[in-house]
Chains A and B, each alone.
Chain A
Amino acid sequence: MSDHPSTYTPKTGIEKWLDARLPILRLAHDSFVDYPTPKNLNYWWTFGGILSLCLGIQIITGVVLAMHYVPHIDHAFDSLERIRRDVNGGWLIQFVHSNGASMFFFAVYIHMFRGLYYGSYKAPREVLWLLGCIIYFLMIATAFMGYVLPWGQMSYYGAVVITNLIGAIPIVGPSILTWLQGGFSVDQATLNRFFSLHYLLPFVIAGVVVLHVWALHVCGQNNPTGVEVKSKEDTVPFTPYATVKDGVAMILFLMLFAVFVFFLPNALGHVDNYVKANPLQTPAHIVPEWYMLPFYAILRAIPDKLIGVIAMFAAIAVIFALPWLDTSKVRSMRYRPVMRWFFVLFVITCCLLGWCGGQLPEDMVFSLGKDTAGHAIGLKVVHLSQILTAYYFAFFLIIMPWIGLKEEPLPVPASISEAVLLNHTKHS
């Protein structure tokens, strides 16, 4: 924390010499060794470390892949196969990178839901939350452009669908679209610039991550009780306590990662992306990667294209506004008996929106029978998406402000230490 005095003492001559000129070792010591962390952090708090690991893995594998990848519409698809077939260890690097994107999003969603449940976005952590939202937005952009690079059918048609959304903007839309695509269709110019930006953005993300960690270290971590750290009794030093706990979680996460890379490397992708892009043959069913499906469902839930696009971007924008939408004085939903139910429902809504995003809008969720013309009657995917979209926005714009004012929270412990002791007596 900011008021935490530095305890770093340079031992050797070299360390003393460096400390007087660039106290980088002092910074590292104060940030990752002596930094006090609340002692009641649970495993949901390990995803910050896991996410740094994900970013590192993506950058390292990505840099190696870029040494072999050819950003050309005639060669991109085959160059990926060449990496998988002929580059030494190429199959491993490529599968780690492609599955790594999914793992990255899986971890970031848990990280975000954790922040939402425990109120980690509330004062004084608004800037920390905003920086996190910026990272998430950059991740979406990076992942989208990365998915275009293999130049398979889904790459190509994903790029066509998403860039054309910009064209829905009145007056300036078509000009922006042309500027974005580098021409009048998704083509060589689009692929080349997406490759350039896909290489650039991860380093921008890394920069924002530094700010995110900085902001975190100014306010200190939130914790499951949502009660601020009050005394030294409430904390333990980052090393060894948090490092070893993060280590355990990282290894478990890597095991899940390994199961996908080595045994289900294509399970999270789409088979059509192993068909080379063909601008003359539209696939029957264009879908984004799983981590974009909820937003895709929101887009398609609304019949009007422009309003659909606005809704989709608003669904991301509303997350930025969260610190100012929550009116509750209590941080952690542990002590919010009503809100926690709406939170559970929100998580389920996001998952179901994801499911809807993968279906055709006219498909039936369930049918109750047939009308006289032989058409099925029942709930269509598009209708379910509309209900879920309504809840998604209501959660942020109505439920969050309203419940915060009306709810009677449970008694909040006086300090972290008290909560820990209370937990002990309950279990023994």
Chain B
Amino acid sequence: MSPFMTKSLKLLGGLAVAATLGLGMPALAAGGHAKKLQEAEFSFEGPFGTFDQAELQRGYKVYREVCASCHAMNLMSFRNLGQKGGPFYDERYSNPNDNPVVKQIASEFEVAEIDPESGDEVMRKATTSDRFPSPFRNDEAAKASNGGALPPDLSVMAKARHDGANYIYSLLQGYDPEPHGLTVAPGQHYNVYFPGDLTSAWTGDHDKVPAGGVLAMAAPLSDGRVTFDDGTPSTLKNQSRAVAAFIAWTSEPHAIERKQTGVAVLLYLLIFFGITYLAYRQVWRGKH
């Protein structure tokens, strides 16, 4: 191979690298179709963030009084509410089943049970170890009551959507008035944060298809919908924020423990690295 050929090949290689990088970069900037989510700036964000217990309590209240009438939370038991990091955790009760607030909450619900004497289904007061009762007997009953749409279980919802907590926070506040030119079917509701493609329902300008999508859930929250016991103003924003925080917690109840363990693990590894690196320098001295 002549030096000229080597040079040209090098140049070709270099150009190809540059071209590939050049092509790749703008592609990474491509975006989605729903409106950019609002940033709630939750207390639990970041490596050192923790849940605000009062906010979790408000969030539970919003869930119980509004969301729970349609949405199940099958993975949650009442005892979870009193576990470390939970909305009703009290350090006097390391066993959440002893926590009187949790006991009180559980006792306000009734759950079905098979009577061992007769085999009939009977209702009894819930205990701390029971799961949150579902609002409907089965999925079919849930669909029948909701225009054919199944309200999803909310237990892990904050993990099941991109930027879940901010998504819930935004979605609940995203019921903007329908833009003129958008055909929304009966039983459907327009929301700027709901992912979807409205092109087929849009009669206006091709380039100005509105952001967002339509979903079966009507706006569930509004100013004054839930009264907060701690005097926090019952605005739509505060309710959305509280329930988003609560669902973020139910989605991963050990999130704070996870991050705190992580800080300790990284510190340990850092010290371990320092010692091992010094040993490495010592061992290899004069060898390379």
Among candidates A240, A263, A352, A408, residue contacting B24 with C-beta atoms closer than 8 Å:
A352
A201 to chain B, nearest CB (A): 28
Main SS at interface, chain A: helix
B143 CB–A CB distance under 8 Å: no
| CB neighbors of A among B19-55 (8 A) | 20-21, 23-24, 26-28, 30, 47
Q: How many A-B residue pairs have CB under 8 A?
A: 138
Q: Contacts of A352 on B, CB cut-off 8 Å?
A: 20, 23-24
CA distance A338 to B10 in the complex (A): 6
CB-defined A-B contacts under 8 Å, sample of 11: A39-B287, A40-B288, A244-B280, A248-B276, A261-B262, A271-B159, A344-B17, A348-B24, A355-B27, A364-B30, A420-B288
A interface residue numbers (CB < 8 A to B): 39-40, 78, 81, 84-85, 91-92, 95, 236, 240-241, 244-245, 247-248, 251-252, 254-255, 258-259, 261-263, 265-266, 271-272, 274-275, 284, 337-338, 341-342, 344-345, 348-349, 352, 355, 359, 363-366, 374, 379, 381, 384, 403, 406-408, 420
| CB neighbors of A among B48-64 (8 A) | none
Known contacts A244-B280, A251-B269; A349/B26 CB under 8 A = no
Among candidates A39, A241, A258, residue contacting B262 with C-beta atoms closer than 8 Å:
A258
Known contacts A244-B280, A251-B276; A345/B13 CB under 8 A = yes
Contact indicator per residue, chain B 246-281, by CB within 8 Å of chain A (1) or not (0): 000001111001110111011001101100110110
Q: How many interface residues does B have (CB within 8 Å)?
A: 58
Q: Contacts of B279 on A, CB cut-off 8 Å?
A: 244, 247
Q: Contacts of A252 on B, CB cut-off 8 Å?
A: 273
B261 to A262, Cβ gap below 8 A?
yes
Contact indicator per residue, chain B 142-153, by CB within 8 Å of chain A (1) or not (0): 000000000010
Among candidates A338, A344, A365, residue contacting B26 with C-beta atoms closer than 8 Å:
A365
Among candidates B13, B251, B252, B280, residue contacting A245 with C-beta atoms closer than 8 Å:
B280
Among candidates B162, B262, B280, residue contacting A248 with C-beta atoms closer than 8 Å:
B280
A146 to chain B, nearest CB (A): 19
Instruction: Find the A residue at minimum CB distance from B47.
Output: A263
CA distance A271 to B157 in the complex (A): 10
- Segment of B1-9, B168-176, B233-241 in the binding face: B1-9
Q: Contacts of A271 on B, CB cut-off 8 Å?
A: 159-162, 164
CA distance A406 to B3 in the complex (A): 11
Contact indicator per residue, chain B 45-85, by CB within 8 Å of chain A (1) or not (0): 00100000000000000000000000000110000100000
CA distance A284 to B195 in the complex (A): 10
A348 to B20, Cβ gap below 8 A?
yes
B135 CB–A CB distance under 8 Å: no
A341 to B277, Cβ gap below 8 A?
no
Known contacts A274-B159, A374-B206; A344/B24 CB under 8 A = no
